[in-house]
């Protein structure tokens, strides 16, 4: 399988800047000492340093055309400013993402670099950083108690990438270490975004009946269905919103969806 995205390289670069701007807006106005409910070991300031550090780490991989993983400790400025100075954190986030996007634009999508997946190119990293920022913006919004919404094409691509990564052999093996193999006859999950704009295919069938998980974008009956607005079903799959939320609807074998969400967790 491939890790193919649905946006152009430039669209990903622009989305990374836009998502970081939205993340920064939350961080500037919120209590940086607040605990992040979905990442309880972190304060909001810690979350901001994590996001900015990931951006700079990616920038270092792309700039150096790294053929192996880069130690985050070796990334200049990667740790970010200490403490809870909102202005300092904001400036650091802005500088880091601008540097990384400049490197990504200069490299283009096909430059060969290390990654932890089978996709060893810069196109993987710009897409991954867009979605990393989206999901952590959800964490920040939840912490600050502010609304969270993702542009439909980005949200659909984020959900698609989640399913693609969940099919990678090294990821499946990591999930399997948790025990309770979910693969078996009749085990299928349908994900349906009910508010997708015309022309955007926002329905997926996750098939757990074979030797490994597979998925396809289709409208198809399944053992259990998760339905709701695109941003909300994305949050459910990333475990930023509980599946029993009144913002989504679960039809069929709820226990199968719950077991999948428990099993297939990226962190």
- Is residue 241 domain-resident? yes
Examine the domain organization and report whether 192 and 124 are in the same domain.
no
Separate counts of helices (H) and strands (E) for the chain: 8, 7
CATH code for the domain in which residue 250 is found = 3.30.1050.10
Q: Which two tokens stand for residue 42?
A: 């972190």
Examine the domain organization and report whether 18 and 93 are in the same domain.
yes
Q: Tens digit of pLDDT for each residue in 140-197?
A: 999 999 999 999 999 999 999 999 998 887 787 777 777 667 889 999 999 999 999 9
| The pLDDT of residue 161 | 95
Task: Write down the pTM of the prediction.
Answer: 0.95
What is the span of the domain harbouring residue 62? 9-148
Which of 124, 148, 172 delimits the end of a domain? 148
pLDDT band at 206 (very low <50, low <70, confident <90, very high): very high
| The pLDDT of residue 121 | 96
pLDDT band at 32 (very low <50, low <70, confident <90, very high): very high
**What does pLDDT average to over the chain?**
94
CB 44 within 8 A of CB 34: yes
- Is residue 3 domain-resident? no
252 DSSP β-pair partners = 224
Which of 148, 168, 196 delimits the end of a domain? 148
CATH code for the domain in which residue 136 is found = 1.20.120.450
Query: What does the alpha-carbon distance between residue 161 and residue 4 come to, in Å, rounded to a whole number?
Result: 8
| The pLDDT of residue 216 | 95
Q: Tens digit of pLDDT for each residue in 79-101?
A: 999 988 999 999 999 999 999 99
CB 207 within 8 A of CB 190: no
Q: Which two tokens stand for residue 110?
A: 């096909």
Examine the domain organization and report whether 87 and 49 are in the same domain.
yes
Examine the domain organization and report whether 15 and 129 are in the same domain.
yes
- Residue 182 has phi, psi (to 5 degrees) of -95, -5
| The pLDDT of residue 4 | 81
Which of 103, 119, 148 delimits the end of a domain? 148
């Amino acid at each position: 399988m491939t890790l193919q995205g649905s946006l152009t390289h430039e669209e990903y670069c622009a989305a990374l800047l836009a998502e970081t701007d939205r993340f920064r807006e939350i961080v500037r106005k919120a209590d940086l000492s607040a605990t992040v409910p979905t990442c309880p070991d972190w304060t909001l300031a810690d979350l901001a340093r994590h996001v900015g550090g990931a951006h700079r780490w990616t920038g270092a991989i792309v700039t150096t055309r790294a053929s192996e993983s880069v130690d985050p400790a070796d990334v200049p400025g990667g740790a970010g400013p200490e403490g809870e100075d909102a202005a300092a954190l904001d400036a650091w986030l802005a500088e880091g993402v601008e540097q990384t996007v400049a490197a990504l634009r200069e490299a283009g999508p096909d430059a060969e670099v290390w990654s932890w997946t089978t996709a060893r190119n810069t196109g993987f990293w710009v897409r991954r950083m867009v979605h990393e920022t989206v999901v952590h913006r959800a964490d920040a919004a939840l912490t600050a108690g502010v609304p969270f919404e993702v542009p439909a094409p980005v949200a659909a691509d984020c959900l698609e990438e989640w399913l693609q990564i969940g099919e990678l052999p090294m990821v499946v093996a990591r999930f399997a270490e948790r025990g309770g193999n979910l693969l078996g006859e009749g085990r299928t999950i349908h994900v349906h975004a009910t508010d997708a704009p015309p022309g955007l295919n926002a329905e997926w069938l996750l098939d757990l009946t074979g030797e490994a998980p597979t998925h396809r974008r289709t409208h198809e009956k399944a053992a259990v269905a998760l339905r709701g607005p695109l941003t909300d079903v994305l949050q459910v799959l990333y475990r930023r919103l509980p599946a029993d939320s009144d913002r989504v609807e679960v039809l069929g074998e709820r226990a199968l969806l719950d077991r999948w969400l428990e099993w297939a967790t990226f962190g």
